Amino acid sequence: MIKSLLIANRGEIACRVIRTARAMGIRTIAVYSDADAKALHVRSADEAVHIGPAAARESYLVGEKIIAAAKATGAEAIHPGYGFLSENAEFAQAVMDAGLVWVGPKPASITAMGLKDAAKKLMIAAGVPCTPGYLGDDQDPAHLAQEAGKIGYPVLIKAVAGGGGKGMRLVEAAEDFADALTSCQREAANSFGNAHVLIEKYILSPRHIEVQVFGDSHGNVVHLFERDCSLQRRHQKVIEEAPAPGMDAATREAVCAAAVRAAKAVDYEGAGTIEFIADDSEGLRADRVWFMEMNTRLQVEHPVTEEITGVDLVEWQLRVASGEPIPLRQDELSINGWAMEARLYAEDPAKGFLPSIGTLELFELGEVEGGRIDTGVYEGGEVTPFYDPMIAKLIAHGETRDEAMDRLSDMLHDSAVWPVKTNAAFLINALDHEDFASGKVDTGLIGRDGEAMAADPEPSDEMLLEAAMSLTPVSFAPGLRLNAAPRRVASFLLEGEPIDVELDGETEGGGESSVLIAENGKVWQMLPWRVDGSGHHGAHDGDILSPMPGKIIAVDVTEGQTVTKGQKLLTLEAMKMEHSLTAPFDGTVAELKAVAGAQVQVEALLARIEAVEE
Ligand code: ADP
């Protein structure tokens, strides 16, 4: 067994590999870029080596630097994780040439599966069913168009060197083919340095079914059943599960056997995944599942397989790389319950899924029975713009699909990340979608209904009331409720927007200066603004006070100006956020103290609005 391991990766997967290696008593060595000096994987490893600037192509993608780091620290083996250099056959070879153990398949297996067209030809020869299509070398546009016609529309143009959902075009009709081909080839040339494409029948009601396989250096290959990764956004997986809903024993047997044949055809060693596309228009059927591609590495979604089989796939990788046989025989593997994984991204679904970066001031992930969290960040750490924005994977196991799904939903509901935005609410909505919930998911679901899932959630009245009360101490007199004190309206700023909350009972001023409210996977910050006693505007109700210490960055009105309720008066920057202060009612700007650029204290008078005489 190897005694030391360098992990040529970052983020959650580096942390995941380190966890198992440590449990096995293996010394762990991390590598890191400038941007990752304080990253979790660096903190988790026994040692860490700096390998260059933030840009991956100058650090995590530079094979020589990684091999040099392994040499310098006396590491015996290199685990590539996923992404980066994990499917780079030259790197795998260089690692072995340097006298190190490569935790992955032989370079020849990677190469054989590296290009989609060559892989499909190999699979056809091995008797693995493949999607009908054109795999030829003739790349003349007119010829490709003719082949597309033969296959029958709709077709998919795929860059043979493509990956990660890039370099694919769906073409619905012959007249759109030429344009789609040009743009696909351009993207393929730019992203992969290879403009070669293949054409495939586009499968309707497509489901993404993949099989985890494992090979060793003694010629054994087993499968660890299937995963369903059909819930995708732009061909990228969003929620994955194992087993696949609606999979009957005969179909499972056929798909898993085909996956083992595929792995054997490339003499596969280590962890790999055979991806299939299934036509689900009449449910999953053994004769409607076709090979798509093989990923010659550990997958992001490997935890769902671990949860249903009880196998630690990283442990198996390290054992097999050390020359041991696969620890279990096929007949010793079975499915226990159901597991589901959601990918938590630092991104803003309400803003077109734009990556969201910054300090994780708040980073809490929900914990439940049967739950598992794989993450690469921590509270107080940074999300930088240099790498994939996935910050955690939430995984839930249960006896049934419903139980796993409910637990995953609970984990997301209980997660609170701020001020970095996440897709947690989007994931909750996806789990709630009636088709997903009933297991009727195809890869187009988010394309059809994603907009509703991406809508920003509103905080519930209960949550607002609770938050308002924590900001404004209220003394309740429950027995006297009928003739209780007049209703009081507390006005608060929620992400810069004024919001009114009605409170019963006697309110007093004071309280905390701000409160974070978290609900349904989203976090807001609420600030007290003013508490209105009577419901009528009193003498000071038009006073616009600074809700917290900060800096005035814009003043939008002038003294004497007429303003309407809700109109923006000025912008305050505080706690790294911008807050708009608006007119509480129609009136005129009787006094204007705020000056752009000035620092202001909490409760400083910034402006005074006088109500219009009625
Ligand atoms: P990549 O290597 O970029 O991940 P894949 O070939 O694995 O590309 O395909 C990615 C996704 O595209 C699949 O998960 C599936 O949703 C969709 N897809 C691929 N091939 C087909 C097909 N023939 N018909 C319908 N959908 C497909």
Instruction: Look at residue 483 and give its three-state secondary structure.
Output: coil
Q: Which two tokens stand for residue 160?
A: 């043979």
Q: For ligand 1, is residue 162 a contact (CB within 6 Å)?
A: yes
Closest CA to 303 of 346, 354, 242, 253: 242
Q: Which helix (H) or strand (E) holds 199?
A: strand 197-201
Mean pLDDT on 312-332? 98
Tell me the per-residue pLDDT of 10-49, one tens digit each, with 9 for 90 and over. 999 999 999 999 999 999 999 999 999 999 999 999 999 9
Instruction: Look at residue 208 and give its three-state secondary structure.
Output: strand
Residue 157 carries which side chain, given as an amino acid letter? I
Catalytic residue among 297, 372, 488, 530: 297
CA of 609 to the centre of ligand 1 (A): 59
- Ligand 1 atom at minimal distance to the Cα of residue 237: 14
d(Cα 82, Cα 318) in Å, to the nearest integer? 15
Residues 6+ apart with CB under 8 A from 221: 213, 214, 215, 260, 263, 264, 268
Using CB atoms within 10 A of its CB, is residue 564 exposed (0-12), middle (13-18) or buried (19+)?
exposed
Q: Are 207 and 290 in contact (CB under 8 A)?
A: no
Q: For ligand 1, is residue 114 a contact (CB within 6 Å)?
A: no
> Sign of the C-alpha dihedral, residues 414, 417, 423, 425?
positive
Instruction: Look at residue 260 and give its three-state secondary structure.
Output: helix
Per-residue pLDDT band for 606 (boundaries 50, 70, 90) equals very high
Per-residue pLDDT band for 166 (boundaries 50, 70, 90) equals confident
Q: What pLDDT does 41 receive?
A: 98
Nearest CA to ligand 1 atom 23: 202
19 annotated active-site: no
Q: For ligand 1, is residue 225 a contact (CB within 6 Å)?
A: no
Three-state SS letters, 264-299: HHCCCCEEEEEEEEEECECECCHHHEEEEEEECCCC
Tell me the per-residue pLDDT of 491-510, one tens digit each, with 9 for 90 and over. 788 887 778 887 766 655 55
Nearest CA to ligand 1 atom 1: 163
| pLDDT > 90 in the chain, percent | 80
Q: For ligand 1, is residue 230 a contact (CB within 6 Å)?
A: no
- Ligand 1 atom at minimal distance to the Cα of residue 133: 23
Tell me the per-residue pLDDT of 196-246, one tens digit each, with 9 for 90 and over. 999 999 999 999 999 999 999 999 999 999 999 999 998 899 999 999 999
CB atoms within 10 A of CB 285: 15
Q: For ligand 1, is residue 164 a contact (CB within 6 Å)?
A: yes
d(Cα 572, Cα 566) in Å, to the nearest integer? 16
CA of 208 to the centre of ligand 1 (A): 8
Per-residue pLDDT band for 576 (boundaries 50, 70, 90) equals low
Among 443, 445, 446, 448, which is best to mutate for testing ligand 1, by the most ligand atoms less than 8 A from CB?
443
Tell me the per-residue pLDDT of 65-117, one tens digit each, with 9 for 90 and over. 999 999 999 999 999 999 999 999 999 999 999 999 999 999 999 999 999 99
Q: For ligand 1, is residue 275 a contact (CB within 6 Å)?
A: yes
Is the confidence at residue 183, as pLDDT, over 60? yes
Tell me the per-residue pLDDT of 418-464, one tens digit each, with 9 for 90 and over. 999 999 999 999 999 999 999 999 999 999 999 999 988 899 988 98
Q: For ligand 1, is residue 291 a contact (CB within 6 Å)?
A: no
Among 86, 156, 235, which is best to mutate for testing ligand 1, by the most ligand atoms less than 8 A from CB?
235
Domains located in the chain, CATH noted: 4-103 (3.40.50.20), 132-201 (3.30.1490.20), 209-227+240-453 (3.30.470.20), 461-531 (no CATH), 543-611 (2.40.50.100)
Mean pLDDT on 585-603? 90
Answer with the residue of higher pLDDT: 584 or 473.
Answer: 584
* Phi, psi dihedrals of residue 95, rounded to the nearest 5°: -60, -45
Per-residue pLDDT band for 531 (boundaries 50, 70, 90) equals low
Q: What pLDDT does 604 receive?
A: 83
Radius of gyration, alpha carbons of the chain = 29
Mean pLDDT on 285-307? 97
Using CB atoms within 10 A of its CB, is residue 139 exposed (0-12), middle (13-18) or buried (19+)?
middle
